[in-house]
Amino acid sequence: MSDASLTHLRASFFDFTGLAQQPEEVASRARYLQDGVLTLRAGNIVSLEAWTEQHSQAGEMIDLRGKLIVPGFVDTHIHYPQTEMIGAWGEQLLQWLNQYTFPVEGQYHCAEHAAQMSAFFLQQLLANGTTTALVFGTVHPQSVEALFTAAGQLAMRLIAGKVMMDRNAPDYLLESPQQSYQQTRELITRWHGRGRLGYALTPRFAPTSSPALLEQVRQLHEEFPDTWVHTHLSENPDEVAWVKQLFPQHEGYLDVYHHYQLTGRRSVFAHCLHLEDAEWQCLHDTDSSIAFCPTSNLFLGSGLFNLQRSWRQRVRIGIGTDVGAGTTFNLLQTLGEAYKVAQLQQYRLSAAEAFYHATLGGAHALDLDDHIGNFMPGKEADFVVLDPAVSPLQTLRNANCNDIWEQLFVLMTLGDDRNIYQTWVNGKPVWQQTSSPHSGSCCQPVKLPG
C-alpha cells in the first residue's frame, strides 16, 4: 500500500554524493541515473534510486522522462537592489558604484518599492533554477524586511543582510556605526533562523567601513556567531590600493577583515581577484569562502579569478552571479563564462567541476552542505528540472552528445533560462515553463497552496 504523503518523480538525475578536495576527484563523486526515481516527503529527500518495475507500485508518479533533474543552483553572491540597473554601461568598479549603483540603492528607503523588487528578484532566481542565494540588501532595514518576507512565503533557503556603510558613499546611504549595529541586531533577532532564512552581516567593503563600524560588525559576530559574514575583497586594483591608503596599519586588504575577526567558516568574500600569497593562506587557515563571479569580473574589467589556485590552497569556492555587475541570473550562463575565464589562464574547467561549484560545492561554501546540494536522504528537496534541448541548435547539439559530461557541458555553454523546465523549493514546484520555448514561452511562478 502506497504512502500518500510521498511524492515520486521519474526522470534522469545528476548530483554529487560527496565533497572533493581536488578537481581530479570531482567526477568520482558524481552520480548519474539515466532513469531514476526521486522520493520526497514533507520537503525532504527520502531516496534516489534507479527505476525498477517495483516502482510502478509506488503510487502516483510524476513522469519527467526526457528531463534532467539536478540539485537547485546555489548563488553565493548577488545584490538584489541592483536588479533594475543590470547592464549599466562603461565603467569600472568605483566609478560604476557612484554613477549607477548608489542612486538606485537610494530608492530602497521606500518599503513598497523594496517589496515590489523583492518579489521580482525572487522570481528571477526561481526562473533560472536558483533555489538558494547569499544576498546583499541596501543600507535600509526595510530592504531586508521585504526580501525575507517574500522568501519566507516561498519557504526558500535564503541568506541576506542589510548593508553596513558609514563613509565614502552618498550621504543618503550613510549611517552611524551605532545605528548600523542597532538596526542589524534587530534584523538578526527577527529573522535569523526563522524557517529556512539566515542572516549575513554585510559590511559593503572596507572602503565604506570605518574602524568604528567594523568594530560594531565584530561585536555582532561575537554575539551571533552562527550568522554569516558577506562582503567584497580585492575585486579591482584601484580598490586594493585605496584600502591600503585607508588602512595603512594593516598588512593588506584581507587583514582588515581578519583583524576584526570577520574571517571564518561562514565568511564569504566576493571576487578575490588580486590576492597576495599571505591572503590566500589566511583564507585557507580560517576556512573562509570565496564567491567566484565571472560575468561581473569580465563586465567591469576587474580581472580573472584564479580557480586553480583556490584548489591548491584548499579554499572553499562557490559561484556568484553578482547581479547587477553580473549580466545574468542564470548559473548555466555563468558557468559558461567561468569556463572562458579559466581558458584564458590555461585551465580547463570541466563540466563536472562547474556543476559541482554550482551545487554541492556552493552549498559547502555557504556551510549549508548538511542541508542542501545533493539528493542524499534527509537533505532538503530543492532542485531544478532541466530540459536539455529547447531550441533547434540545442536539439541538434544534444543529439550528438556521447555522455552526460558532454550534455552538461553543452548546457553550460549553450544553456539559459529556457532550459529551466521547473524549479522545486522545499519539496514543491514553485516555477514552471508555461509553454514550449520554441514558441516564445512566458515563464510564470506556480501558485502555492494557501
Successive 10-residue mean pLDDT values, the chain, 450 residues: 80 98 97 98 98 87 97 99 95 94 97 98 98 98 98 98 98 98 98 98 98 98 98 97 98 98 98 98 98 98 98 98 98 98 98 98 98 98 98 96 97 98 98 65 43
Is 63 found in the same domain as 115?
no
92: its cell numbers: 569600472
Residue 63 lies in a domain: yes
Same domain, 263 and 153: yes
Question: Strand ranges (DSSP E) for 166-236?
Answer: 197-203, 228-233
Does residue 369 sit within a domain? no
Same domain, 135 and 218: yes
**3-state class (DSSP) for residue 276:** coil
For residues 17 and 29, give the distance between their C-alpha atoms in angstroms, rounded to a whole number.
6
Closest CA to 158 of 126, 116, 120: 126
Q: Is 380 among the domain residues?
A: yes
Of residues 215, 143, 211, 204, the one with CA closest to residue 174: 204
Q: Are residues 216 and 263 in the same domain?
A: yes
210 shares a domain with 104: yes
Co-location of 93 and 38 in the same domain: no
Pick from 53, 22, 51: nearest CA to 39: 51
Q: Could you list the residue range(s) of the whole structural domain that residue 60 is in?
A: 7-71+374-432
Domain membership flag for residue 316: yes
Pick the closest to residue 293 from 356, 258, 337 (CA basis).
337
pLDDT at 186: 98
The DSSP string of 171-189 is GGG---HHHHHHHHHHHHH
Q: Of the candidates 303, 329, 355, which is a domain's last residue? A: 329
Same domain, 114 and 249: yes
Query: What whole-number distance in Å separates Cα of residue 422 and Cα of residue 206?
Result: 39
**What total of structural domains would you count in the chain?**
2
pLDDT at 441: 39
Same domain, 65 and 82: no
Measured N-to-C along each axis, helices 351-358 and 331-343 cross at an angle, to the nearest 10 degrees, of 130
Global model pTM greater than 0.85: yes
Q: Considering the domain boundaries, does residue 367 fall inside one?
A: no
Specify whether 216 is located in the same domain as 292: yes
Q: Are residues 171 and 119 in the same domain?
A: yes
**Nearest to residue 9, comparing CAs of 437, 444, 429, 369?**
429
Query: Residue 58 has what pLDDT?
Result: 80
HSE-CB for 305 with a 13 A CA cutoff: 28
CB 240 within 8 A of CB 253: yes
State the pLDDT at residue 2: 54
Angle in degrees, 0-180, between the axes of helices 141-153 and 111-127, rounded to the nearest 10? 40
Q: Is 146 found in the same domain as 32?
A: no
Residue 356 within any structural domain of the chain: no
Establish if 448 belongs to a structural domain. no
Same domain, 261 and 232: yes
